[in-house]
Structure formats: C-alpha cells, structure tokens
Amino acid sequence: MTPTTIKSVDWNAFISELAGIELITDPTQIAKLSLDYYHFSPVLQPKLSDKRGDLVVRPATEADVLRVAAACVKYKVPLTVRGAGTGNYGQCVPLQGGVILDTTRMNAIHWIKPGLACVEPGVKMATFDKKARETGWELRMVPSTYRTATIGGFIGGGSAGIGSITYGQLRDRGNLHAVRVVSLEDEPRVIELRGDEVQKVNHAYGTNGIITKLEIPLGPAYPWAEVIVVFDDFMTAARFGQTLGDSDGLIKKLISIHAWPIPSYFAALKSYLPEAKHCALLMIAESCLEPFQELVREYGGQVTYQKIAQEASKGTSLAEFTWNHTTLHARSIDPTLTYLQTFFFTLERVEQMYCHFGDEAMIHLEFLRVNGKAMPAGLQIVRYTTEERLNEIIHYHEENGAFIANPHTYILEDGGMKTIDPQQLHFKELVDPYGLMNPGKMKAWESR
Ligand SMILES: Cc1cc2nc3c(=O)[nH]c(=O)nc-3n(C[C@H](O)[C@H](O)[C@H](O)COP(=O)(O)OP(=O)(O)OC[C@H]3O[C@@H](n4cnc5c(N)ncnc54)[C@H](O)[C@@H]3O)c2cc1C
C-alpha cells in the first residue's frame, strides 16, 4: 500500500495489529470512501475535495472496533467513522487523513419488540424497516436517503426526515433510547449511555465515540398512501401544509411543499406536475384518505397522483423527491444550484422570504413537529452566485427572525447547533483524550 496522508506512521506495523479485520488499501477505493455529499455546497467543494484517508477498516464486531481503536491510540492515528457516507457537510470526510472506519459490516438487527429495536450501527434503514414492518412497526423517522443510509450515520449526522411531522427531530427526548460507544483511551472500552445521556453522542459527527449498538424507538407501520396535490398559488399550498400538519385526526408521515419552478426539476413526476403549479408531496395513512380529500377541497387543491401503499411500494417513493432529495434532483438538472436549511417558525416569515427572494431562493418546505406544533422548515433551493451573496441571503433570514442551520460548513457547532455543547465536549475529553476522532470538526475541542 502507499499511504500518503500521514507520513510518520509505520503503516505496516499498524496493519499487523489488525489481522483478521477487513482492510481496504486500494487508493481509488479509499478516495471514494473518503468523501460524502459535501459537493452540494459550492463553499465546501474546494475545501474538501482533496481530503483522503490512508486506510479503510471494515470491522465486523464490537471486538474488532476495540482493536482498531487500540491501534489508533497506540500509533496516534486519526479515526473517522463512516456509515454510508451520504452526509451533506463533509461530516465523514477525514480532514487529517488516518483511518476510515466503515461500519457497514456491523449490520445485525439484534431484536425488534413492539415500539423498540436494538441494532448495530451499519444497518441500512430501508433494510431494517422491511424487517420491522413484518411485525407492524417501522422507524419513526428516516432521511430521504433511507435506502442507503445507515442507522448509526443518521444518529451521528442526521437531524430529521420523513416521519418528523409526527415524531419531531432526532434530538427530541425519546427518539434514541440507548447507545454503546467505544472510546479511544489508552485502553479503549465500551460505554453504555441511556436516557438523556445519549445526547452526548447524538449528532456529534463521530467526534466522541464509535457507536457500536443502538436502541431505537419505532412507530406503528401504517399503510402509507402517496399523494400529490397541486395548487395555483404557493401560499395556499403552504397554508394547506400547515393545516394538514395541525390536523391531529389525519395520520401522516410527510408534508413536503414546493414552489414552482422546483416541481420542474422532478423529471420522473413530470406528468403529475402541471406547468407553473406549486405542489404538495404527501404520505397519508390509507385509512385517512377520505377525510383528507375534504381538506384538499377546502384549499382548492387538485390531486394529480394517488397511490395506495401497495402500489406505492412498487416504484420510487415520493419520499425520494423530498427533504434533501429535492436538492439532489434540482442539482441533477442544474449543478450550480445549492440549498439552505431554515426554520421559518411561521408562515408569515415564509411569505416574506418568498416575496423577497423570488427565484433566487426557491421555497421548499418540510413540515415537522417542534415542541408539539407543526412547523414549516425550509430546504430552499438557491441560485448560487458567490459565497458573499450566499452569506447575505443567510444574514437576511437571520435578521428577520429565521434560523439557518448552515449546510455550508463542516464544523459541528457552526451548522445547526450554533453553540458549544458542553456535554459533548466533556464526553470527548473523557473518551478521546488524544483528539483522534474526526479531528477538525468539533470547534469546542479545537479552540480549548
Ligand atoms: C440526497 C440527500 C438527502 C438527504 N436527506 C436527509 C434527510 O432527510 N434528513 C437528514 O437528517 N439527513 C439527510 N441527508 C444527510 C444523510 O443522508 C443522513 O443524515 C444519513 O442518515 C446519514 O447516514 P450515513 O450512513 O450516510 O452517515 P455518514 O454520512 O456515513 O455519517 C454521518 C456522520 O455520522 C458519523 N457516524 C457514522 N456512523 C457512526 C457511528 N457508528 N458512530 C459514531 N459516529 C458515526 C460520521 O462520522 C459522520 O460524521 C441527506 C443527504 C443527501 C445526500
């Protein structure tokens, strides 16, 4: 092998510590496994495109992970954990080279009980759901990358998704019950965190422990119908989304609202998305379709697409046009487009930004539950010109009371958190005293 990034490490000696664990040393493969979807951001592109790990390890068990951790500590080699590598902000891109620990071989489902499951981190969310649905349950929320993304990666780097209109965000109490993590101390050990303690590693970008097991809550697996409703007027579509979100009697999993011209980017749905109309992409419990039609009538919408769950399960789900897949489709038509992540809090603010930015920041809303209330969050599609203009757009939102979870930074605290999380920092001090885990990502640690 020809490791390039960390010159001073005796890689042959390092590798000899890992006998029996699958390794990848081919530079092309390593390059592939060093990157994620950071390229959605024109700001991150030049900063991350040349970052590479030196070696990929693919442990199959927690005991393997302990051995990898011990070797990294012994040789002071950085370690970056990677699930499926679908993160958007270079979360699993190794800034300082070293080992990439790929979790995808750790994909056991230990047990599924009514409402709760225990899994290894590398289980793909779609694979898990297929199994869980046999028992009448499913993951409470999934990102639109659920077909490839891992459960551990969602906890390490995700925030919310399809299902969040009912269950809120990952960080909400109750959405993660327990984790086991491996430390990078002189003698690596396994630590179990339960209850509120899980927040120490929840959305920490793998900077403070390698998650080896998780207990995650489930929701009832309704047969989900998929529906597209189109509207002449964008704010009517947005108000329809809000009312659907507030309708406690209507069981739903997804309320995704798109201002024209965003629907024009959904090539595969073209025949259901008339020119110049704004659309709602929805997942509604089949049993609620009849009362749901009343709501559509009330808002003057037109249903152009409706599939019951069984039909919907055969093709591509509408879910794969929502959340950040909207950006994926838009960028596949026009790669210069980028996006923002925004809490508008109110529809008045949505309208203000819709009128102010027009086509420059096209509005895509996802409704999610925040402290018990349905709230519009934005994943606006932005016509990128310069970083300066992007920052102006961000500042305008912030000055006017919106909250931007900036997707154009790989720094943990500069994204959605905005503040240093002392719990996560203290836990890092305990479990990663040499600062080997995903170095360069946790500002609190770097600026101590
Ligand atoms: C098109 C598109 C759509 C998306 N939609 C959504 C969405 O709807 N909602 C959403 O929240 N995100 C979304 N994302 C981001 C991402 O897909 C999800 O967060 C996904 O769950 C990440 O899973 P992964 O396995 O790919 O994680 P990775 O990208 O591999 O890792 C994510 C982070 O978690 C850390 N990590 C991974 N495994 C572990 C572990 N075992 N222990 C500790 N740390 C670990 C990594 O180091 C990294 O920092 C989207 C991304 C794209 C490209």
The residues near 27 (Cβ < 8 Å, ≥ 6 apart) are 2
Separation between Cα atoms, residue 126 and residue 15, nearest integer Å: 34
Question: Where exactly are the structural domains of the chain?
Answer: 109-220, 224-307+342-404
Separation between Cα atoms, residue 128 and residue 83, nearest integer Å: 15
pLDDT score for 417: 74
User: Measured from the CB, is residue 440 less than 6 Å from ligand 1?
Assistant: no
Write out pLDDT tens, residues 381-437: 999 999 999 999 999 999 999 999 999 999 999 987 777 788 999 999 999 999 999
Does residue 68 carry a pLDDT above 50?
yes
Residue nearest to ligand 1 atom 4, measured at CA: 324
Residue nearest to ligand 1 atom 37, measured at CA: 153
Q: What is the band of 269 on the pLDDT scale with cuts at 50, 70, 90?
A: very high
Pick the CATH number of 224-307+342-404 from 1.10.10.10, 3.40.50.2000, 3.30.70.3450, 3.40.640.10: 3.30.70.3450
344-363 average pLDDT score: 98
User: Measured from the CB, is residue 83 less than 6 Å from ligand 1?
Assistant: yes
pLDDT score for 6: 66
Give the sign of the dihedral formed by CA 71, CA 65, CA 441, CA 435. Answer: negative
Q: What is the band of 66 on the pLDDT scale with cuts at 50, 70, 90?
A: very high
Rounded-to-10 torsion of CA 60, 61, 66, 69? 30
Write out pLDDT tens, residues 132-153: 999 999 999 999 999 999 999 9
pLDDT score for 345: 96
pLDDT score for 254: 98
Low-confidence winner among 2-6, 45-49, 238-242, 309-313 (lowest mean pLDDT): 2-6
Closest Cα partner for 202 from 421, 407, 415, 367?
A: 421
**Whole-prediction pTM:** 0.97
User: Measured from the CB, is residue 36 less than 6 Å from ligand 1?
Assistant: yes
The minimum-distance atom of ligand 1 relative to the CA of 40 is 53
Q: How far is the CA of 86 from the centre of ligand 1 (A)?
A: 5
Separation between Cα atoms, residue 205 and residue 165, nearest integer Å: 24
Residue nearest to ligand 1 atom 38, measured at CA: 153
pLDDT score for 2: 38
pLDDT score for 14: 97
pLDDT score for 415: 86
- Two tokens at 435? 């600062």
Bond from prior residue into 261 cis (ω within 30 degrees of 0): yes
Ligand 1, residues 86, 265, 325: which to mutate, most atoms within 8 A of Cβ? 86
Does residue 165 carry a pLDDT above 90?
yes
User: Measured from the CB, is residue 152 less than 6 Å from ligand 1?
Assistant: yes
pLDDT score for 4: 44
Does residue 267 carry a pLDDT above 50?
yes
Q: How far is the CA of 125 from the centre of ligand 1 (A)?
A: 11
Task: Indicate the class that CATH gives domain 109-220.
Answer: alpha beta
